[in-house]
């Protein structure tokens, strides 16, 4: 199935959780937030949030600096 992350398509197996998907991208959970349908998904729900085909996700990453 195809998931859109920040408008870029990614292929992922059916039944993939958000936690597994984020890990497959090599990202750490710290400093990022993920929204589906403009609703931020709390990190404690990532493992139980199963992705669906053509789901549009937005990943926001905190950047430090001054």
Task: Annotate the chain with three-state secondary structure.
Answer: CEEEECCEEEECCCCCEHHHHHHHCCCCCCCEEEEECCEECCHHHCCCCECCCCCEEEEEECCCCC
**Given CA atoms 16, 10, 62, 39 in this order, what sign does their dihedral have?**
negative
What integer pLDDT is reported at residue 3 of this predicted model?
Answer: 97
Q: Give percent of the chain with pLDDT exceeding 70.
A: 97
- CATH number of the domain enclosing 19: 3.10.20.30
Span 15-42, mean pLDDT?
94
What confidence tens digit (pLDDT) does each residue in 38-61 have?
899 999 999 999 999 999 999 998
Decide if 66 is inside a domain.
no
Number of domains in the chain: 1
């Amino acid at each position: 199935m195809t998931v859109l992350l920040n408008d870029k398509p990614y292929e992922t197996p059916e039944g993939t959780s958000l936690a597994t998907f984020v890990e497959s991208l090599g990202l750490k959970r710290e400093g990022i937030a993920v929204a589906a349908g403009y609703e931020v998904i709390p990190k404690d729900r990532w493992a139980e949030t199963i992705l669906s085909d053509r789901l549009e996700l937005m990943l926001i990453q905190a950047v430090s600096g001054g």
